[in-house]
Amino acid sequence: MYRVDAAVAVALIVLTACASSAAAGDGRRVEEGGGGEVTNDGRALVVNGTRRMLFSGEMHYTRSTPEMWPKLIANARKGGLDVIQTYVFWNVHEPVQGQYNFEGRYDLVKFIREIQAQGLYVSLRIGPFIEAEWKYGGFPFWLHDVPNITFRTDNEPFKQHMQRFVTQIVSMMKQEGLYYPQGGPIIISQVENEYQMVEPAFGSGGPRYVRWAAEMAVGLQTGVPWMMCKQNDAPDPIINTCNGLICGETFVGPNSPSKPALWTENWTTRYPIYGNDTKLRSTEDIAFAVALFIARKKGSFVSYYMYHGGTNFGRFASSYVTTSYYDGAPLDEYGKYFKESQGMLEGFTYNSN
């Protein structure tokens, strides 16, 4: 019989060793390996010829300021992370069709370069639909007025605009030399986001759209793997990944023996909603979930969502979400470790029920 307790104990030892070596600066960082190859096999992402156990944390450049980025990233590295993961926000970058904005809080290149300067990798979730409790799911409002458009399905007007934006972002990353084979920090990218949740509503157009999005992304030739989260039918070579609280239990696993088990969103808490009580997730619950994912699913990549939630500036947050986003994450709204700024509060433990 499979002994979860013994397997988890082993995984916890591995987690402790990984955290210790990260804090010590053991040469696992970008500056010592940039310019190599990123592939994957059935066990892990393979960076410059080496299978990697990677721990990531989500931070959104739009929810903080450029002045905060160095300290946020430094604290994330101090916490033992290897990777910073972020969405790309279409509606802030193209608020008016054909007019782009990559300045200030929206300076994606500057954010990625700061991550690279501090020796961490990047997981870039281009989408362009992102959800993220963000206005219109990240879509610009002008997209709604495109004639004959239907979002997120096998619809030519939508696919044309989606491909144009994704290509714009990928071309910018290439021009700046930010993909790992170019010497940059980006080791993996994501196209679409949690589409499986709505795919049946589009009938036969849903699967066709998934295949198109995969082919479009791979055709951009970034030199690094692509993934789709919550997409069990992600076509090869796209890696299907898990989002949730207990992926060690809920993840069906990679849909191909050539794909590793990746957890793109390990929810560290619940985002605050107006009128609702704050719900915190205990450190012990998160640690057990990670260990179980590694032990039971042979997981090799875990990204904490969020590691730093930050601030919903302006009117870009979904209408029900508070100004502080994921303030119970490891780094609070101001970039301090949660237990340092607010004391150790009793956690909210989730279960599988």
Which active-site residues does the annotation give? 194, 265
Alpha helices (H) in 28-186, listed in sequence order: 69-78, 90-93, 108-117, 156-175
CA angle 130, 291, 273 (to 5 degrees): 40
Q: Compute the distance between CA of residue 148 and CA of residue 214 in angstroms, rounded to an integer.
A: 23
Query: How many CB atoms sit inside 10 A of residue 190's CB?
Result: 25
What are residue 304's phi and psi, to 5 degrees?
-85, 125
Q: Which residues pair with 241 in a beta bridge?
A: 229
3-state helix, strand, coil in the chain (%, to 5): 35, 20, 40
Owner of token pair 């796209």: 238
Instruction: Give the Å distances, CA to CA, from 206 to 155, 163, 199, 231, 236.
Output: 10, 17, 5, 11, 17
Owner of token pair 């607010």: 342
> Which pair of tokens denotes residue 220?
């951009």
19, with CB counted inside 10 A (0-12, 13-18, 19+), is middle
